[in-house]
Amino acid sequence: MGNNKDFKVMTAVGTSITLILSVMGVIFVGIKAGIIIFITGALILAINIIFTKRRYSEIEKLNSYLEKVLSGDYAPEILDQKEGELSILKTNIYKATTTLKYQKELLTEDKVRLANAIADISHQLKTPLTSMMVMNDLLETEEDQSKRKEFLKTQSDQLDRMNWLIQTLLKLSKIDAGTITMKKEEVTATSIVKEIVKPFEIQMELKGINYSSFDSDMILSCDKNWTIEAIQNIVKNCIEHMEENDELKIEAEETNIYKQIIVSDTGCGIAKQDLPHIFERFYKGKNAGKDSVGIGLALAKTLISSQRGDILVESTEGIGTTFYVRFFKTII
């Protein structure tokens, strides 16, 4: 405070004006008038100095607070219940620093997630790559045609797996980056379900899975292509956990709040401890297949959430699983 140039200038000017007016009062009016002017000026100057010191003290505290924030130290709450411009400034500064702190925490969390995702991707790609390298070495020396066909089939399967993994990761990355726009259109639930099931018909027939669906004229407002892809990932997950004579059923339902497509199976179910995590990326539960990557359901959840929808799941181990794909109605 003592080194504040503005404060020194203000004090010097105030003192000079008080002295000049006092002298002029003595000269032109009299000693009593000069004394009254001097006392009045001195009181005004003293009051002004006191309030100015307080103001500068508060500003100095704010400056110290901002220095702590910039240095990364914990910034205590500086809100107060007083009125005035300085209190409003304190409140706005606190809001700004709180927002910056929250954004910093989000960035830190994003870095951790990115590091974990890169590690998971590396692990998922390493396994098929290693297998393909081994198969390639064996092909160079193997003369048995049946063995060579077996090795080529294994390589083809691994390539398909890598292609699916890379394509899915690219889709997730585009959604995370906000470069995919969901284009809503009015479509019937029946037409969507027919498209969903089409790629799995032969697989279900070969596996001996019984399939049934609804015939409904319920209209959904959604991005048709992305919705089909999302629910296809759910159906794919169901089929992977089903055996011969198990049943897969797809139904539609409408309430006052939402419209939903229900996918249920009588497969092995999901373990209770796995239920809270099945939509997490790269999470593989107790009953996951050996070739499971753990991003199919994560992609499904992300695609539906991007359309302001949601996916809920209920499951009993050994009995089956039910997925509820919900599209909430717009409230006007």
Give the closest residue to 300 by CA, choosing from 288, 287, 313, 290.
Answer: 313
Task: Assess whether pLDDT exceeds 90 at residue 259.
Answer: yes
Taking only the tens place, the pLDDT of each residue in 90-135 is: 777 777 777 877 787 888 877 776 676 677 677 667 767 777 787 7
Global pTM value: 0.61
Task: Assess whether pLDDT exceeds 70 at residue 32.
Answer: yes
Task: Assess whether pLDDT exceeds 60 at residue 70.
Answer: yes
Instruction: Give residue 227's pLDDT band: very low, low, confident or very high (50, 70, 90).
Output: very high
Which pLDDT belongs to residue 324?
Answer: 96
Which pLDDT belongs to residue 74?
Answer: 60
**129-156 average pLDDT score:** 80
- Rounded CA separation 198/221 (Å): 21
Rounded to the nearest 5 degrees, what angle is found at the Cα of 162, between the Cα atoms of 129 and 199?
145
- Rounded CA separation 286/219 (Å): 37
Give the closest residue to 184 by CA, choosing from 224, 127, 128, 214.
Answer: 224
Taking only the tens place, the pLDDT of each residue in 304-327 is: 998 989 999 999 888 999 999 999
Which pLDDT belongs to residue 117?
Answer: 67
Task: Assess whether pLDDT exceeds 50 at residue 332.
Answer: no
- Rounded CA separation 74/170 (Å): 38
- Rounded CA separation 211/192 (Å): 16
Strands laid side by side in the 309-316 sheet: 210-213, 247-254, 258-265, 320-328, 309-316
**62-80 average pLDDT score:** 68
**DSSP, res 315:** E
Instruction: Report residue 312 as tokens.
Output: 């809920």
How far CA 12 is from CA of 6, 16, 31, 235, in Å, comes to 10, 6, 24, 83
